[in-house]
Structure 1
Amino acid sequence: MFKTTATLAAFALTAGAALAENPTVGGAPMLADKTIAENASAAPNLTTLVSAVTAAGMAETLMGDGPFTVFAPTNDAFGMISEASLNALLEEKNVAQLQQILGCHVVATEAFSTDIAGMIKDDGGMHVVPTVGGCELQAYMEGGELKLKDENGRVATVTTADVDQSNGVVHVIDRVILPSGQAG
């Protein structure tokens, strides 16, 4: 129990420092007065995500008022999905499936890492995170890192937390989250 509390406290301190200065994503400055869609478009390691959001017709939503929390998979995360599967998802006939997958990366509230760490602690080490795509993620801490487990048991690690946006917050992750029953 002490280790978990100490880890959460260390994570909260690190997150608090991150809130003082917005982190870069892929080396690109992230501006707190820009929307999630605008900042993601500037990040060279989020180009696949931006293409998917555009193909799904969700860019306008992510430019809206929010607030949103977005768990943003990097290009490398999308690279874990076969090229054939990714290309198929980007086809117009599969827009509903793509929207559901992308929706599993979005929460309809603003939650910084300190908020999530607090919910994890309050829930005894694991917090259920319902997404707008209908997925339920399990948020937990492991080795000082914030992790998200999807309904298929796939685990994504937050690699850059607390990227403040005008309409919410982004946490960059290293794996694409998939709805139940979908393999990647």
Structure 2
Amino acid sequence: MKTLIIFDHPRRDSFCGAVLDHFAAGLREAGHQPEIADLRAEGFDPRLAPEDEPDWGNSRKVYSPAVLVEQERIARNEALVFLFPVWWWSVPATTKGWIDRVWNNGWAYGDRKLAQHKALFLGVAASDADQYAKRGYDVAMQTQLVTGIAKYCGIEESRLNFLHGALGSEADRLALLNRAQDLGRSF
């Protein structure tokens, strides 16, 4: 399966970058074909300009060339994976801006929906699972990302996974990298 991985971290050589490498390796081991969209390295501008603002009266609006390139990249893939550090209980601003600009009315929602079969949001989190559950962050993010974005845009087979404890010991971090590779294999 052709899978677009949307990666958002300011440093490709970060722990999140290592998670990306392990997840992509797992995909390849399972026979999938990953394509990586490194939003920061590619210089994607997350700001929504008037030319990319949804036009509620015209669901066939043609968006900016930058958005059309991203829409073509999505269209050539069967599945989407968002790999990101959890910041303020959400995705980083560049990812949110990418969704705001690219997943637009008449293309990802409205009278047309996305054609992808599945989506995964893979959040790299410093805190442990108990902290997320205690405060309801896990449920809030599930509602926001899976229900409010992926399923709203027609991707019914969508889920959110966390790699908790990213600031732990080397052994903990190695276990998270192995888990990322397993998630890629089982995707």
TM-score (norm 1): 0.29
TM-score, length-scaled by structure 2 = 0.29
Question: Which of 1 and 2 has greater Rg?
Answer: 2
